Amino acid sequence: MVSGCRTIPFSQGSAAETLAAPENKGAVAVRDRPKVTRVTRGFCLSLVLCRVPEAQLKSIVWQTLQAVNFCHKHNCIHRDVKPENILLTKTGVIKLCDFGFARILTGPEDEYTDYVATRWYRAPELLVGDTQYGPPVDMWALGCVFAELLNGNPLWPGKSDVDQLYLIRKTLGDLIPRHQQVFRSNVFFSGVSIPEPDTTEPLEKRFHGMSLYALQVMKSCLVMDPSLRLSCEELLELPYFLEDGVNWGREGERLGRRHDKGSRRRQPGAQYLPQLPNSNISPAPDVKKQVKHKYHLPNI
């Protein structure tokens, strides 16, 4: 397995079991029974961040959104989306891996640990210690990954949680009132305050050469208020994925078919997870419609 990426065995949680069920088809990588790893030929996205052509970048983002959308539609939140957990195969197919922090969503008002996700990709609600959050934490992380894909460097490489909040504040401004209150009441931050930035550097300034459509995708993820971040399905409908006359849904199908054929040639009879959904809507079974951003994870 590529260094920095790992699969999650069935024994570690119901999230991996749910996503790996035969009827659930998506761009996720879990360990098959009993111990055969199915994505050993992938590359960590972090290993190729500096060598991603623009067309491939858009394909990577599109496929990653599909993978996270697949999880969300199955009431699962990943909670550790970062370059090291995104595999890129030789044929350009994306696999989302490492579900060690993933949990199945249950219902509103649940509280659970804030100590998830890698600091550089951690949403403000996680950094301040909020114990009520949902799928928008994945959307924030996706925005950070997208920004890193554009220039090869982490967007906010904080050295501590407070430093991370400072860097975010320097770009996006103050925390929302709820997060300010959570920060003040968190005993971990007792006697500590977030430094006041001398200057601000908004995303438009940091990425002045980026197209307006690409900037729209990033800004739609990196919103301080979690309830205002767009979902995966909403992001996939933005003009960024409709320009250039490329149908990314069909492109994903083509890459998936090529990868499936190659897999069958290498190991006849092996049961591989399909690579990509066939459209912008993940092929998850129908589930009861739920209130957006209101479902939380159980205590762990």
Residues tagged active-site? 80
CA 49 from chain centre, in angstroms, equals 16
- CB distance 96 to 81 below 8 Å: yes
CA 291 from chain centre, in angstroms, equals 20
> Pairing state of beta strands 94-96 and 86-88?
antiparallel
**Residues sharing a CB contact under 8 Å with residue 137, sequence separation 6 or more, in sequence order:** 77, 79, 116, 117, 122, 123, 125, 126, 226
Residues forming beta bridges with residue 44, ordered by sequence position: 87
Number of helices (H), then strands (E), in the chain: 10, 5
